[in-house]
Amino acid sequence: MKSRLSATGYIKNNKRTCFVLILALGLTFMAMYIIAFILGATTESFRPIIFEYPRRISFAEVTTNAYSVKRSDYETIEEYAEAYGKEYKAFFEALSNDPDVTKVYDTQFLNATYNGVIGGIGYEFPLLPAEEIPFVAEHLGAVLTGGRMPEGEGEVVVDEIILKNGKMKIGDWFLENSYGQVFKVVGTLRSDGMACLGTPRGRYNSGWGFVVLCNDNSKDFTKLAAKYGVHVSEENGDNISDAVTYKKMWDTDIAGTIDSVMKVILLVVMIFLTISVLIAYISFMRNRVNEYCLYASIGYSKGEIYGMIMREMIILFLSGIVLGVITSLGMMKILDVTVMEPRGLVSAWFMKDQLLRILGAFAVIVGILQIPVMLSVHKIKTIDLMED
């Protein structure tokens, strides 16, 4: 016998109540997705610096501990300095001759800062003689999009996104601190790795060491140095910025942290949503007790009544999700235009993982809602009991 309990009957005839419920679900979905979008924008924005930039360039401040010469093996400091100098030169030459290394510089470098929605990231860029800059720019896949390349001392060309992010323009001072006004922005670059380049001015810098123009085979500086008997490590005080250290930073400080924050936020929102939806649904079902009792009295089984409640719930939740997706995309467009783009932040529109996570959260809520639904269905009386 076919059940005539329609899932859409209530929805069609109680449009306002159902619309409020769908709207609440949709807005919750949107809130969850936008939080993920904003946090995700931070990781997305940092991605080029973490994954693209170090594929082509590494920075290493190597201490004397990394070389095989030991101070204790030499009687005088002069003898030690001479031996160390030889080893340093040999290492530099070995790196220069490595088939996977385009060029090595022993030079100063400077830090560029890129601020995400949450936190920021600093990364080195080399300060080189002006005549070297076009060659390095080409190696980094960077093209000049405005201004000119550095010609005199203390000039920098900055990636256009970094420039926007730092609210700077050509002609501004890139670094203005207690040392005075140093490094003027003379041009803008565009590249996959947000590259910046400059010429030194005296010794105003944030590091000095090897700058290695590498490729995918030589992007691990620790491994590259070990080939030539130089054993660098963070424990020995060596300061390395290469593909490996950037990846480590990504795993621990960026993706790891943001992922944890996202999970906590999602959990808090989910708990809040679950409680709200539970209260709404319990009151929703309480208002319909007489209806359910009528169905049971005229011969519908509890299974059929449960099926109708579940079908209604699924329609409401799916409608809420569809509304949530549409409003989320709209809101993200507004956020992108008003917040992200002016700050030079990169945003991901379609976040598959987040979408699945939110859908999972909604599925859990539907699961939890089974408790009041089943309790209500279990408590359904027939009309004779109501009239007793």
Partner 1 sequence: MFEVNNISMIYDMDTDEKMYALGGFDLELPDKGLIGISGPSGSGKSTLMYCLSTLKKPTEGSVRYNGLELTGIPDRERETLRRKEFGFVFQKHYLVPYMSALDNILVAASDSGKETVEKAKEILKIMGLKERDFKKKPAKLSGGQCQRVAIARALINDPKVIFADEPTASLDHENAFNIMKILKEYSKERLVIVVTHDRTVLTDVDTMIEMWDGNISSISGRDR
Q: What is the CA radius of gyration of the chain?
A: 31
Paired with 198 in beta bridges are 127, 156
Paired with 189 in beta bridges are 144, 159
Minimum CB distance to partner 1, residue 277 (Å): 21
* Nearest CB to partner 1, comparing residues 105 and 295: 295
Of residues 42, 53, 174, the one with CA closest to residue 124: 53
Minimum CB distance to partner 1, residue 298 (Å): 5
Can you say whether the dihedral through the CA atoms of 130, 134, 136, 140 is positive or negative?
positive
Amino acid at 86: K
Minimum CB distance to partner 1, residue 285 (Å): 14
Angle between helices 15-47 and 302-335 (to 10 degrees): 50
Can you say whether the dihedral through the CA atoms of 141, 146, 150, 155 is positive or negative?
negative
* Nearest CB to partner 1, comparing residues 246 and 295: 295
Alpha helices, DSSP H only, in 234-351? 243-249, 255-286, 289-297, 302-335
The secondary element (H helix, E strand) that includes residue 96 is helix 77-97
Minimum CB distance to partner 1, residue 273 (Å): 26
* Nearest CB to partner 1, comparing residues 22 and 101: 22
Half-sphere exposure of 110 (CA within 13 A, CB side): 25
8 Å CB contact between 363 and 37: no
* Nearest CB to partner 1, comparing residues 262 and 285: 285
8 Å CB contact between 84 and 202: no
Minimum CB distance to partner 1, residue 326 (Å): 27
Of residues 270, 253, 237, the one with CA closest to residue 361: 270
**Token representation of residue 38:** 């904003």
* Nearest CB to partner 1, comparing residues 2 and 203: 2
Minimum CB distance to partner 1, residue 1 (Å): 5
* Nearest CB to partner 1, comparing residues 120 and 303: 303
* Nearest CB to partner 1, comparing residues 13 and 72: 13
Phi, psi of 214 (to 5 degrees): -110, 180
Minimum CB distance to partner 1, residue 307 (Å): 14
The site for partner 1 (CB under 8 A) is made up of: 1-2, 4-6, 9-10, 13-14, 290-291, 293-295, 297-301, 382-384, 387
